[in-house]
Amino acid sequence: MAFSGVPGLALHHPARGQRIAAFFVVIASFLGEYAVITLLNGSTGAVYQIDWPLPFGPALLSVDQLSIIFLLPLFLVAGCVSVYSVAYWPARKHSSAGKLTLFLGIFAAAMVIVVMARNSVLFIMAWEVMALSAYFLLTAEQQSAEVQRVGTVYLIATHTGTMALLAMFSLLRGTIGTFEFPLSHSLSPSVPVASVIIITALIGFGGKAGLMPLHFWMPGAHANAPSHVSAMMSGVMLKMGVYGILRTLSFFDALPVWVGWLILLLGAWSAINGIALAAGQRDLKRLLACSSIENVGIIFIGIGLALVGMQLQAPYLVVCGLFGAFIHIINHGLFKSLLFLGSGVLIHAVGTREIDRMGGLARRMPITSPLFLVGSLAICGLPPLNGFVGELFLYVGAITDGIVAPLPLAALVAPVLALVGGLAVITFVKLYGIIFLGVPRSVEAAHGHEATPAMTVPMVLLAAGCLVAGLAPVLLVRLVTPAVALYGDLAAPVIAKVTSLVPIVPLTIANILLVSLFLVIGTAYLLRLRRLPRSRGATWGCGYLEPTARMQYTGTSFSEMAINVLGAIVAPNRRKPRLAAAFPPAGTRFQYTVTETVLDRILTPIFEVVGLAFSYLRRVQHGQLHIYVLYIFATLCVLMFWRN
Amino acid sequence: MILLADQLLVLVMLINLVMLGTSRLIFSIRAVAVQGVILGILPGLIHPFSGHLAGITVGIILAKGIIIPYLISDAVRKAHIRREVEPFLGYVPTLLLGAVFTALSFAFAEQLPLAPEHKELLFVPASIATLLTGFLVLTTRRKAISQVIGYLVMENGIFVFGLLLSEAMPVMVEAGALLDLLVGIFVMGIVINHISREFSSLDTSRLRTLKEE
Amino acid sequence: MTDIIIHCAVALLFPPLLLGVIGKTKAAFAGRVGAPYFQPYYDLIKLFRKGSVFSETTSWVFRAGPVVTLSATLIAGLLIPLGHHDAPISFSGDLILFAYLFGLSRFFTTIAALDTGSSFEGMGAAREVTFSCLAEPTLFFTLITLARISKSLTLSDILTHPTPMIWLASGASMLLLAGALFITLLAENSRIPFDDPNTHLELTMIHEVMVLDHSGPAFGIILYGAALKLFVLGAVFVNVALPFATGNALLDWAIFIAAMLSLAMTIGIVESVMARLRMTRIPQLLVGATILSAFALMLVLR
Amino acid sequence: MLYALVLLPLLGALCAWIVPDNRWRPLVLPVIATIHSIVTAILLGNAPPPSPAGWIWLDPLGKIVLLCISLLFAVCAFYAVGYLSYRRERSNRVLCMGLLVCLSAMSMVTMTQHLGLLWVALETTTVSMAPLIYFNHNARSIEATWKYLLLCSVGIGLALLGLLFLAYSTYVAHHDATLLLGPLMFSARELNPAWLHAATIFLLVGYGTKMGLAPLHAWKPDAYGEAPGLVGALLAGGLVNCAFLAILRVYQICLASGTEIRFFQQALLGMGLISMAFAAVFMARQADFKRMLAYSSVEHVGILAIGLGLGKGALYGALFHLLNNGLTKGVLFLSSGNIHRSYSNKTTHVVKGALTRLPWSGGLFLAGFIAITGSPPFSPFISEYTIVSSAFIDGHYLVGGLFLLFLVVVFIGMALTVLPMVMGAPPANIEPTDYEDRLLTVGPPLFMMALILLLGVWPPEFLVTLLKDGSAMLGVQP
């Protein structure tokens, strides 16, 4: 089985071992991809059974169409990341490289098993191994207090989620009488605990996927992990949460309609909130993490649409929702990893995550900057890149339904997506523009340098993926069709009928037309330029003669307006100073920071209150021996008089 | 014979009250010793004579009547303390409580069905009363010594009950129990010495550094 | 076939005229003679002949910006029907592509502006993205509403569908739609009351300030692109607001062009009778438009 | 053969007493331990039949406990050699003797079928452990010893009374009074319910005190906190399990009696939940990591009790957890002992960045923490999940929910103590100590950790059968 190749890199010597490990992962990913493709072409995945001596029945492993959707990006990203890491986290520079390499391998392998497991206990074990190795990965720089803090938050969050999952799987076991996963659509939702199962699943998996309001661990964790790790976590690990929810829901044959609506609402909330948060971030990787929340939200919108559709027998909704969700899963894996790897390059070059300290890097990084641009365009869902395809499906689903099917309300999804798209444009224009364009805002930025091929090649690969998928969306459709058929158990003709509604081929034509048009006009323009006189000068300072780099618009100021408009959502902390003197304006600065509302304003206070209450309860242990004896006596009496 | 046994048991209970009332350590140690001796005598009164029985009698009298009191009074001598000063709960209240507990133990004993041949014996109330007295001493007294005494009284209470089945008990177990008791008291004595050296007093209310705040 | 050719011809040649008409109208209101109708064409030709100045800070992005903007707008122009003739490219779901093409052009305009590193252009970019992000839902609401009315997902059907019957049937919502669309039109093309195309104070500009550093052919491309955008959105508006179609193709073309010209005049009138809004008020107006369109959708959906 | 398990350690104790030299004396421990574990291995393979009088029989339950004890002691013995080499200044004669005597007593506990004898052995362990807790000879340790000694003696005393009640209940039922497990279970149905009930209560309280069930646990944090690491390990992994075995015996009788079992199970459930709650409360913001481990031990005793109280499938989990808890606690205490040595402090105010200062011990401590909080792939997860899932399966939703809730709170509390300890940069201002990680101080816990991992992923065949037999003895139809 090709998948088991992944942990091959569990050997950890310094530099050389790292290379060998990377080599192993690449091989493993190639094999994995190959296996996936072969499975995709008809041949149904074989079932592997391990008779382990644990009291939970045999451990089943198998691959079905749903798993494939998640395995594809997993292997791709794992391969790219491992190559990237060799240059990004060289063993000779970081003592933690060995540990990192080791856990990276375990991490990838665990995720593969998560996707393949068909026994709930095996699933949980792989799941927790994945979570723990993620913890060790993101605390690679465990010396810093910040990393420690976010690591702890992450660990607590994920472990709490796991507890919810334990409850859920136990309930499932109680319902079906075995620890193996039931067949899809085999459970009727009328079983008493069904709703509890679904809720716990939402808590457990949603937390991992970064679904609001359980997203609070994400920005910090992704921001402080090494970049290639963030790429793995954001590009792949979040999807495991999505996978879990999809898998769990697939057990039931007809879900109550509120589930669909709930997921739809949560998705919409996460999408808008996430991107609004992202717009206000000053930290490069925090921003990317927040936008991951947004993308997960979009995925969940798709799932929600599909569920609602299933409930109301609206095939349009089902098919388009599923297509949208699945395609977006793959896409997000591509461009989010690309962006995180790019951010790694930036951090390497500039040595900071502060957007406002960068600038003018486009000319210093001729390779990275276009790649980053591709990523940004894709994540904004702009044609002709792949991000657009997934969203197109969702739009069509929503609107089509708004027209023909009995559920006009779904049409409201479209404006939501539009708003999200707009905000995404704000966010990523800011990101790209402030980082790569203009003049350097700091010395470090001025001396930024391009990365080594080992780092750029994986990015090129991912970017190419984005482009190809964008220009030939039919590929994506081809990839996910089986999964859709399986998941929504729909007949091929239905799918064909619906997909015919979605302009795949015309879109391709339009995209190609767009690109060619761009090339034509571009060449024309350049030729024209060549013939005309050209001169270079300073930027027109609107009459101000000595513009300095510090006068440029910063990311903070760029998004300030949007933040004001969205104040209700992101609740920024403003620090508005009063002018010390009218003139000359003494050193006063206005600044705002977007806060983690859930974490800082809800959870932390609760923790403090509980801690206080506990510290009162702890008085019981007061060190008075004779009172301790009294406890024993009291217990005796209580038991004596306790008639059951 | 039976009558005598009952009177002795009453005596045991009286000793309990005395123990609760007195503040002089040496005195209460002696009281415990007396209790121990009575415990040694009792089985001879209710069970037919046998070698096993003799062994038990001798053992109990030796251990509870002589060695243990010696150990404790030795510890007392080393620690140079004479009396228990201000207990957590005054003497009169503890006395009253003791009386109440004794009454309660009678009531409690009524609940438990006895074997016919033990019907008119006071073993059960006596043992429970003694047990409770031990608890009372343990919880109300300050000095480590008196807590050891409390523990002893408790043990005595348990043994009182044990006498009902003394010939049913295998020798090995009885011996083991006694031996453990001895060693336990011995270790406690040592610990008490260390305490008095470390804290220059045996006031256990000073042993409060280990706690949660 | 002829239709397609005419479509392309109109789409390519007609737009600058709108600017001319607007200018003329405003001049008339101001009691001036004003520049000739074809002034924009002269400007363009001149610009394409001029040499250009580039700031040292700029990179290839700066040069690519206008080009991408123009090409995206052109594709958009090929997507919409003009005068009740189907668009050259038209497929189900193209309305989404239509909306996103504007997103693409916006993206590049703004990053091109940021490329100069001038704080003023950054300011303009920030305003542009923020406002259009608010304008986007409006566009979608209107399109969905129309789609709902016309039971179709292709712009051609959607926009050629409105007929007097429909206006009579669901007049209220159509009216709301027209209003919302008009506001969006003004906002997207950064006309008064949102932005003053020919103000002279950079602090108050939105679109104009972003292109301060472009010169020569690039600036020409931008001007042309802007005109084209005005034309495209205007065409959408006209299609909705003017549901009359004679069977005759050429006649329809004539009607359409007349309608466009009158729209240009309307804009001119609006610009000359209204003052520019304060920056802080603009979001409110946009949200208002969104609410209008949402209301229209509600009316249609019930 | 069986008796060797008891006599051998006593012999060793004698040697330890004779050997004059502080440096060579500890070597007795690993020798004895090795032989002991070899013998144990043989006995696990083929246990001898019950002794004619039926007093001595190594039944599956006993086997499980014996296995745990022998393993743990062997590991601790090797560790002790390394550890004591840092404590040359203090005579370790008492320590070695105490350990060995305790070992023999514990082995006795596992193999006897006579409740009286079991009681005697338990009392012996109590007494023999006291000097070990006092090993550090300072005010705090003496206080801890005193509290431990008195509370445990009182508890054990109550247990004795419970035994007497039990014996008397047979007497009332006109059988000849006995404390042998077999006859008791045979005649359990006729036993007088009132006496039986009283006996159950006294035994539960008595052995519960020894086991450290809340609210009878008061001695635990003090004793664990002040004792040296390896003693703590033996307390948490050895004595607790012995006491639990005693409780298991009571459980068997209650089960046989048929009527008493409901009360007993409910009482166990209640006390188990209370223990977990107590642990959760006390672990939050616990600055002293050894005390924290003590409370974690309270928590896991609670888990054992809950497993027993739930019965059915949970029994398997409880028996397995007995082993896992013992081993994992061993790892934690030993590594924490190393950290304590190296920082000469056991509060989290000082101890920071252990992973940097002591990569091995710090890593082991972290791994142990992850294991003890029930994360796969370590074995405690298996047992805990078995328990909680069977709770949900049998419809004890409240118990299951509370169980998980407490686990979460405990995890948070422990994480907030452990992670700052292990992660981060060590404080600059602490004076260097002579301790550094060496094979003898790190190897043993490492070995145990590997064992835990193995048990969590692929428990060996014989163990599975052993656990199955054990739970069968507790009334689970295989």
D287: closest CA among D225, D231, D370, D372?
A: D225
pLDDT of res. C248:
80
A–D touching, 3+ CB–CB pairs within 8 Å: yes
pLDDT of res. A311:
81
Interface confidence, given as ipTM, is 0.89
Cα of A163 to nearest chain B Cα, Å: 29
pLDDT in tens, C93-116: 888 888 899 999 999 999 998 888
* Contact yes or no for D70/D29 (Cβ under 8 A): no
pLDDT of res. A14:
41
CB contact under 8 A, C129 and A403: no
A644 pLDDT tier (thresholds 50, 70, 90): low
CB contact under 8 A, B111 and D176: no
Averaged pLDDT for residues A298-303: 93
A621 at interface of B, judged by CB pairs closer than 8 A = yes
Q: Which residues of D touch A113 (CB under 8 A)?
A: none
Of the CA atoms within 13 Å of residue D122, those in its CB half-sphere come to: 33
pLDDT in tens, B50-83: 888 888 888 889 888 889 999 888 888 887 877 7
In a domain, A261, yes or no: no
Closest partner CB to B135 (pick from A620, A621, A633): A633
Residue D256 CB coordination number (10 Å): 18
A633 at interface of D, judged by CB pairs closer than 8 A = no
In a domain, A203, yes or no: no
Which residues form the domain of A624? 597-641
CB contact under 8 A, A156 and D411: yes
Q: Any idea what the Cα angle at residue A72 is, between residues A17 and A182, rounded to 5°?
A: 110
Query: What is the DSSP annotation of A503-530?
Result: -HHHHHHHHHHHHHHHHHHHHHHHHHHH
CB contact under 8 A, B195 and D195: no
CB contact under 8 A, B188 and D150: yes
Strands (E), A197-334: none
Of the CA atoms within 13 Å of residue A573, those in its CB half-sphere come to: 8
pLDDT value at D200 more than 70: yes
Partners of chain A (3+ Cβ pairs below 8 A): B, C, D
Closest partner CB to A438 (pick from C99, C114, C202): C114
Q: What is the largest CA-CA distance in chain D?
A: 73
Q: Which residues of B touch D157 (CB under 8 A)?
A: 151, 154-155, 158
D380 pLDDT tier (thresholds 50, 70, 90): very high
In a domain, A625, yes or no: yes
Q: pTM here?
A: 0.90
* Contact yes or no for A112/A127 (Cβ under 8 A): no
pLDDT value at A1 more than 50: no
Q: Into how many domains does chain A fold?
A: 1
pLDDT value at C205 more than 70: yes
For residues D399-419, b (16+ Cβ closer than 10 Å) or e, as one string? bbebbbbbbbbbbbbbbbbbb
| A258 against A26, higher pLDDT | A258
CB contact under 8 A, A400 and C153: yes
Cα gap C194→C196, rounded to integer Å: 7
A535 at interface of D, judged by CB pairs closer than 8 A = no
pLDDT value at A3 more than 50: no
pLDDT of res. A589:
61
A488 pLDDT tier (thresholds 50, 70, 90): confident
D222 at interface of B, judged by CB pairs closer than 8 A = yes
For tokens 């109109």, the residue is C10
pLDDT value at C290 more than 60: yes
C121 pLDDT tier (thresholds 50, 70, 90): confident
Q: Which residues of C touch A503 (CB under 8 A)?
A: 91-94, 97
CB contact under 8 A, B169 and D160: no
**Number of alpha helices (DSSP H) and beta strands (DSSP E) in chain D:** 20, 0
pLDDT of res. A38:
72
B85 pLDDT tier (thresholds 50, 70, 90): low
Residue A360 CB coordination number (10 Å): 22
Closest partner CB to A632 (pick from D205, D404, D407): D205
| Segments making up each domain of chain B, as ranges | 2-201
Residue B155 to residues B150, D123, D156, Cα–Cα distance (Å): 9, 13, 10
A173 at interface of D, judged by CB pairs closer than 8 A = yes
Comparing A255-269, A335-349, B190-204, D238-252, the range with the smallest average pLDDT is B190-204
Shortest CA distance from A619: residue in chain D: D282
Six-digit token string for A443: 């010395």
pLDDT value at D210 more than 60: yes
Cα gap A506→A355, rounded to integer Å: 39
For residues A242-253, b (16+ Cβ closer than 10 Å) or e, as one string? bbbbbbbbbbbe
Six-digit token string for D440: 């003898």
Of A353-367, A616-630, D239-253, D421-435, which one has max mean pLDDT?
D239-253
pLDDT of res. A12:
39
Q: Between β-strands A572-575 and A591-594, what pairing exists: parallel, antiparallel or unpaired?
A: antiparallel
* Contact yes or no for D304/D251 (Cβ under 8 A): no
For residues C151-172, b (16+ Cβ closer than 10 Å) or e, as one string? ebbbbbbbbbbbeeebeeebee
Beta bridge mates, A283: A354
Beta bridge mates, A575: A591
pLDDT value at A8 more than 70: no
Residue A610 CB coordination number (10 Å): 14
In a domain, A428, yes or no: no
pLDDT in tens, D241-266: 999 999 999 999 999 988 888 899 99
HEC string for A63-106? CCHHHHHHHHHHHHHHHHHHHHHHHHCCCCCCCCHHHHHHHHHH
